Amino acid sequence: VTDVGIHAMEVYFPRLFVDQTELEQFDGASSGKYTVGLGQMQMGFCADHEDVQSIMLTVTAKLMEKHNIDPKSVGFLAVGTETIVDKSKSVKTQLMQLFPGNGDIEGVDVTNACFGGTQAVFHTVDWVYANVDGSRENRWALAVMGDIAVYDKGPARCTGGAGAVALLIGPNAPLVFDRGLRAVHMQSVYDFYKPRMTSEYPVVDGALSVQSYLSALDACYQLYGAKYAKITNGKHPDLSNFAAVLFHSPYARLVQKSLGRLAFHDFVSGRHSHLSSLDQLSAFRDTPLNATYGDKSFEKAVLTASEQLFRAKTDPSLLFARRIGNMYTGSLYGGLCSLLLTQSPSELVGRRLLLFSYGSGSAAAIFSLSVCTDASRLQGLLQSAKEAAYQLDHRVKASPKQFARALEMREQLLGKAPYQPQALCMDDNDGEGMMHFPLFPDTFYLTQIDEKFRRRYERA
């Protein structure tokens, strides 16, 4: 088995979104804080008739249907999520309703904040290498990741979002995971965690989460460079080697700063022909990395040096992130979909993509994908990206008040049984002429939690 990677991809996000400029006003934040300061335009959200299982059912069913995947041809399915609806029963087992007649599907849920999706992807790749063999077994693996990212009232609420991504993984793929090039950094840190069993909201130390994200990025990039040199007889990579550089995106401005940090690493190691304004970076050449976190003059220098690089290699991957918000486990892979949409295949073929995944707590990795040399093999992925973009433009804008109300409804659902989603019971409007909480066609939704906490779903 060779060239295990991504054959197909499906992205799902909710039909409702809130505008970040309107949210600034509603929250009493200074004008431009969410849009310019954090770089966000819109945020998708779910009412109480969507949960993590329904969004994963939707994205998995769509992947199977659009690509004519026979349910019996799937041998592994791993789920990455941090949106827990049950402390024991996995989301994966709920997805088994999509595979009638095939119980022989390995894999369960993987959880560690936004990183669980990437670990699920790694598991699928490894499963294919270990098990798929023309003579013995020739089956697909699926990685499905998704979350409903919600925060309590306060400065973090505007960095929520919701969505799910499903990937079809197998040999001889158009997007291949590079072997030997997973650089991982894990440590124990209380930057963002969910200790309250009766709340969907995390406990967040915002500043610490940003520092932890950036320090994991530093460690992963250095390790990736060392691993790359090992398999290429000492050749060290820099950002010019990659057609695109993608990041987990809690908000777009952090991603831009992250690319700047990687540019700084290139500069310090003497590879800087792709950077500008080097004199500004020189001032920090001997500054220990630890002293750079949160340093505004350092940030300004790296942002200036990497500005063109950002436009060329990273901005194209941020379309969904800016307009949907943080999809947590799905965020990085939504970035991949966005890249395929906005970058011409001719700029990607035969090249590598660099990806950074981060999950609080913390677990992080930098890894890379090699794009096949034949652009026609990217057509299926491009088509899925176009369909997702079409849906993005056919969402319904909600008011900040309606968004706040949806989150209140979600709060009321927790721990309740029996429960009927309020979004299904509303026949009135909220005085603002809005239709209540619409879904895209073919979306799975929660119809009921029965007296034994069993969840029932139907498809719109």
Enumerate the known binding-site residues: 209, 257
In the shown chain, the binding pattern of residues 343 to 382 toward ligand ACO, with x for contact by CB under 6 A and - for none, equals -----------------x----------------------
Least spacing, CB of residue 31 vs ligand ACO, in Å: 6
Contact indicator for 439, 46 with CB cutoff of 8 Å: no
Scanning 95-103, 165-173, 207-215, 388-396 for contacts with ligand ACO by CB under 6 A, the matching segment is: 207-215
Query: Residue 224: what residue type?
Result: Y
> Could you count the other beta carbons within 10 Å of the beta carbon of residue 297?
11
Closest listed residue to residue 35, CA positions, set 147, 152, 159: 159
Q: Is 58 exposed, middle or buried (0-12, 13-18, 19+ CB in 10 A)?
A: buried
Cβ atoms of 42 and 324 closer than 8 Å: yes
Q: Reduced to 3 states, what is the DSSP secondary structure of residue 48?
A: coil
Indicate which single residue of 84, 131, 155, 186 sits in contact with ligand ACO (rule: CB under 6 A). Answer: 155
Does an H or E element contain 338, and which? helix 331-342
Question: Is 356 or 457 the residue whose CB approaches ligand ACO more closely?
Answer: 356
Active-site residue, selected from the candidate residues 46, 82, 200, 272:
82
Site string for ligand ACO, 112-151 (x = CB under 6 A): --x-------------------------------------
Q: Which of 379, 357, 352 is nearest to 255 (CA)?
A: 357
37 sits near ligand ACO (criterion: CB under 6 A) = yes
CA distances from 157 to 9, 16, 404 (A): 29, 16, 10
Could you confirm whether 82 is annotated as catalytic? yes
Which residue, 37 or 380, is less far from ligand ACO as judged by CB? Answer: 37
CA gap 379, 386 in Å, rounded: 10
Q: Is 248 a catalytic residue?
A: yes
What are the tokens at 407?
A: 């989150």
Q: Active site residue: 7, 10, 114, 185, which one?
A: 114
Binding mask 157-196 for ligand ACO (x = CB under 6 A): --x--------------------------------x----
Contact stretch for ligand ACO (CB under 6 A) within 24-32, 133-141, 219-227, 438-446:
24-32
When asked if residue 213 is in the footprint of ligand ACO (CB under 6 A), the reply is: yes
Contact 332, 118 (CB under 8 A): yes
In the complex, least distance from residue 220 CB atom to ligand ACO, rounded to whole angstroms: 14
Closest CA to 108 of 93, 87, 130: 93
Binding site for ligand ACO (CB under 6 A): 30-33, 36-38, 114, 155-156, 159, 192, 204, 206, 209-210, 213, 250, 254, 326, 360
